[in-house]
Amino acid sequence: QVQLVESGGALVKPGGSLRLSCVGSGFTFSEFYMTWLRQAPGKGLEWISYITSSGPAKNYADSVRGRFTISRDNAKNSLFLQMDNLRVDDTAVYYCARPAYVSGLFWGQGTLVTVSS
């Protein structure tokens, strides 16, 4: 069955960097665009980035543009999120997700990023 597994979450200091990974299985990874979303503690859901199936086109939410970079390695069924210049308000559970049924998303289980001094 379709599975997405994120990793790389950690405690990091403000201004630091972190790289998240997501491995997909149970589907042809290279055929799907992929997204990253996040959820701050006790808060709602926020879309943060998108990458096309082969990787040339990307889009970012204003809150992360210029600090985060999305990429993928289709040979390894992997999606990445490079996060630089992290801020306290970037603290959240980060999810990777795959399109499902046109308008929906299928989500991984998430990985926690905590930005604190």
Partner 1 sequence: EIVLTQSPGTLSLSPGERATLSCRASQSVGNTYLAWYQQKPGQAPRLLIYGASDRPQGIPDRFSASGSETDFTLTISSLEPEDFAVYYCQHYDSSPPRYTFGQGTKLEIK
Q: Quick one: which segment of 20-28, 63-71, 84-92, 95-103 binds partner 1 (CB under 8 A)?
A: 95-103
- Nearest approach in angstroms of CB 15 to partner 1 is 27
Give the list of residues 6+ apart from residue 86 with CB closer than 8 angstroms, or none.
12, 13, 14, 15, 16, 17, 18, 67, 113, 115
Q: Which residue among 32, 80, 94, 95 contacts partner 1 (CB under 8 A)?
A: 95
32 part of the interface to partner 1, by CB under 8 A: no
In angstroms, the CA 34 to CA 99 distance is 7
Verify binding: residue 116, partner 1, rule CB under 8 A. no
* Smallest distance, partner 1 to C-beta of residue 32, A: 12
Query: Which one among 66, 75, 103, 117 touches partner 1, defined by CB under 8 A?
Result: 103
Q: Does 115 engage in binding with partner 1 (CB under 8 A)?
A: no
Among 28, 13, 2, which residue's Cα sits nearest to residue 83?
A: 13
Contact with partner 1 (CB under 8 A) among 16, 33, 77, 114: 33
Q: Report if residue 24 touches partner 1, rule: CB under 8 A.
A: no
Tell me the backbone φ, ψ of residue 76, rounded to 5 degrees: -110, 15
